[in-house]
Structure 1
């Protein structure tokens, strides 16, 4: 891949300006920054800027994802999403999983099962292959913890029984989403035969056991040892090196690189440097690399591709709106919640963001799915991000508030 440095620098400037302008405007409107970053990418990409300039000027003037500089931005975005998953792991204490409790587990499992089956069934009904349908179902499984928590905090219900159940379930089904993502990724780059799947699952088990068993024993000690040397930000550099090394190992055994990054973050959360690393990784990630991934997803979105999907796009959006309400609400009912509180749990579990986009991008990278699924995924993220705050406020009207 040959490219001019000036083109890359120009694209980098455009991406960052678009990301922060979109994020700031989105935040001002009460929406997550990822919403604005996706919209900004769509606006500067072929779907909007390209189409408008083609019609007015006779030639396309936009960010071209197929140009060498555009491909380089996609690569930087991949690094950004690896750092994002590292930060996500750092933000979760291992004990948090143990304290999630029975209701959160039931809610998460029920929501994941219903969402995956509905997405898989709808895509299969319209003639998609099992693997394509698997990605369609997988995209719908993981709730966006950030969007959910932010909304619950704004209306002061996060630390109520319902709010804590939503938070615990969101954490659990995010992990389940990563596991499903790893399986689908392995199948996409491997084989659909029985032995192929058995090999993938075996390698996954070995990878998780090795990384977790050795990681919790070695990584904190390694970071502590590295901190003794007088080199600028040596702990951060070593932590990133471990993230990239384990991510590379994950790719080698057909597991998504982001899974390795998440595990390293989870392991590192037990070290004395967790808070410092999270703060510094957040600065590096959100200041430069992470927004590139979401802007690039918008740039690569082909809105015209939705026209070729037809009714499936409508069905997919409808499923994304109601699968969590049904699945997680059912789990809440089984856990002893009232009908109203079960509805609140379901609505709170509705939004999707990072994991859905990551899964769509991996499916596209593996040539398993086309632009249509990526476009539908972006529409799901945009729609659920937009309507969740309003629906949560309506659902929690008259509910118990935290002190």
Structure 2
């Protein structure tokens, strides 16, 4: 099956996911057998079945029920598997073998639909705060009479350690969290459902190759450890967070859910999206310095779109992010903290310089002072029960092609 040059999921992309087919016999008590899939156009290749049928030495990795073994195999294997997949899907000699293993993403009504799962076991989760535009807007909202950026912001990528166990695959409903919150003017907090539920449009980076405890990972080793990227929505309860985060940072206001796309795009698919990050305004310490004449451009030109109930509300540009993923990884391990296969670290909210490029409702509505008006006439300062948020993105590919990053979505359910 061939795809057009305009296709977001052609041979230059080939993102990985994990799927099952309802009714397919499972193992170990699972309702259906999980398989590694590779997206090609509007189909999904059963990668393990293809590897077995073509006698590939990578069959054990691709027949696993998770991407974990492939992630752990390291970059030379990642590149070899990717080259094999491009050959299987692009070489007419394999068409007769491969075509029956391409499953439609949108099958006829009488056929079972594919179910997508979290594609790997998340080992640790770290969320950063890497957009200067986002950090500046937040600073102006909460500190209107002070400096918007904290003194450390231009010297290190600020982050916090999140909760790996509540990272969920796209499509998983998000239950409105409850917690302590103190309304303006109140002397004491109360407990109840969040009234200021928000989104954060982000990009996640998936670690494959682990590192040794006590050994920092330099920026130059970024590609040896990071397998790929995925869209991510780090839901945020702003009122719970505002009361609890001083002095130790986000906790219950962030840990209830983080939605991740089912598609992991290999870094090698984003070669044509590499770009220089914004100009550095402060000297950087050596382990973070990416300003030298031989420094490779570590920024990424990813074009995000944010939809609320089907309405486009923002288009954040990832190329505007001040801190790169390579700097984030270097800082994350600078104290000797080790990486594990399946670690996930996120960029933080992606926002650009224009009002229509802000990656969260806190910014888009200026903390509720300027609500969004939707096509049905309703207004939103923050999310209402029943709202559905979807993030999509694409990146430049070779010869004018586009690389799709899939989507991540979630619908808000009432508090329990």
- Scaled by the length of structure 1, the TM-score of the pair is 0.30
TM-score of the two chains, using structure 2 as the length reference: 0.29
Structure that is richer in helix per residue: 1
